[in-house]
Each structure stands twice: as structure tokens, then as C-alpha cells.
Amino acid sequence: MKECSKSIMRRLRDPNFANRYFVGSGLDIGGAPDPLGLYVELFPRLRGVATFDKEDGDAQHLEGIEDGSMEFVHSSHCLEHMIDPAEALTNWFRSVKEGGHLIVTVPDEDMYEQGRFPSTWNGDHKHSFTIMKSKSWSSNSINLLDLIQALGPAAELVRLNILDEGFRHTLPRFDQTMTPIGECGIEFVIRKRTAEELEAGGRHPPAGIVSPMESFLLTGFQLD
């Protein structure tokens, strides 16, 4: 099923996607045949998104894409096809500008692979993914927390969640992504910290003073 298309209504309900993540010009890695670019008009701050797929090169290396050239990078269900997901994620992240975002969706190993690897439903899957387990049934399991942390101090994890709203845990084993509502995945969003933030050890509010009128509009109370 079209996993990127499935995500659109969910993302439209979250203002962060329209106001922070899908902003400016971006790259959709492995987007064909269901690219994010089909939905540009639904995200008003999105100026455009190019699709990088097999005909453009190896997504693991992302050759031809310059460092810091993209305001955001998006990938839906591509990382599991990479020979080395750590190298791939490093190259995807290097192409993001400071202050920009990397938005990635992967299958959750328990909801999608469902206890068997190699994958029953997609023989090209080279790895399975989990957020955190002390033990996994999959010999090719990757802990996403470890993978993201390996990106280094510039990686600010701003979202990491299981996409199980449409998953039915009471059903016998079958590929629930073939239904219109089953995403069976994990989504994470990483913001690239600026050089100033890295030097300061985090984000600080901008210099200035909140005016009495701004305070009233924000809180409903006047400053003394």
C-alpha cells in the first residue's frame, strides 16, 4: 500500500509538519511511486520536494546531493532496504541544513515482520527496527535509539513514535500494511542543531524583552 499517502491525514492533524518539518525545499528519498511531492499544496510552507529514487543513484551514499543543501529530507520505508542503515542515515542527515529536519518512517519489527526474518512480506528488507529492546527475536534488528545517537551531537531528536493507531493486535499474523489504515511503523524526526547551539550546549531564546502587550496576548495577564 502507499505508505506516504497513508501518513498525510495524520500529519495534517499535527501542526508541526506544516509549520516546522515540511518547510522550504526538500528531498524525498525512495519516494517513488508514492512521493511526498504529490501533496505539496497541503503544506503551505513547503516550496517543493524532489524525489531521489533508484534511477538517481544509491540512496545509501546519496551522491550528488551536497552537504547542508536541503531544508528537510523525508524518507518513507526506504531505510530497511539499505545494506548499511547507519551509513545511509549519516548521508541523509549530512544533506540537511542547520535548523532543518530529517523525517524518516521505517517498519516496526513486531507489527510488520511479526516474529520472522527474513521478511515474509518483503524479501528485500535487510534489517528490522525497534525503538528499544533488551532482546529481539530478529537477528538483523536495529535499535533506533542507538542508530540516531550515532549521528553525533548535531542530531536533536524531536519525535520518535510508534505508528500503531490502525494496527489490530487481536488479528492472526498477516501483512496489515495491505489494509487502508495499517501503517505498522516507527516515525522519527531529527533536527540538525546549528553551530551556535552546539557551542552553547543547546537552544536559547532570542535576545530581547517580551512587551506588556505580548505578555497579555500570550498569557492573558499584564506584566507588572
Q: Which CATH superfamily is domain 3-219 in?
A: Vaccinia Virus protein VP39 (3.40.50.150)
d(CA 55, CA 205): 43
What residue type is assigned to position 111 of the chain?
M
Residues 6 or more apart in contact with residue 116 via CB below 8 angstroms: none
Q: Which of 206, 203, 208 is nearest to 98 (CA)?
A: 203
DSSP conformational letter for 14: S
Q: How confident is the model at residue 221 (pLDDT cuts 50, 70, 90)?
A: low
How many secondary structure helices (H) and strands (E) does the chain include?
Answer: 6, 8
Where are the chain's structural domains? Answer: 3-219
Pairing between strand 96-107 and 70-76?
A: parallel
Query: What pTM does this model have?
Result: 0.94
CA angle 183, 79, 15 (to 5 degrees): 50
Structure confidence by residue, pLDDT tens digits, 74-87: 999 999 999 999 99
Long-range contacts of 167-176 (CB under 8 A, 24+ apart): 167/111, 173/114, 173/115, 175/112, 175/120, 175/121, 176/111, 176/112
Mapping DSSP to helix (H, G, I), strand (E, B) and coil, where does residue 188 land? Answer: strand
Pairing between strand 128-130 and 141-143?
A: parallel
- 222 versus 198: which is more confidently predicted? 198
d(CA 212, CA 224): 8
Are 114 and 173 spatial neighbours (Cβ–Cβ below 8 Å)? yes
What grid cell was written down for 79? 531505510
Structure confidence by residue, pLDDT tens digits, 9-49: 999 999 999 999 999 999 999 999 999 999 999 999 999 99
Q: What pLDDT does residue 215 have?
A: 80
Mapping DSSP to helix (H, G, I), strand (E, B) and coil, where does residue 201 land? Answer: coil
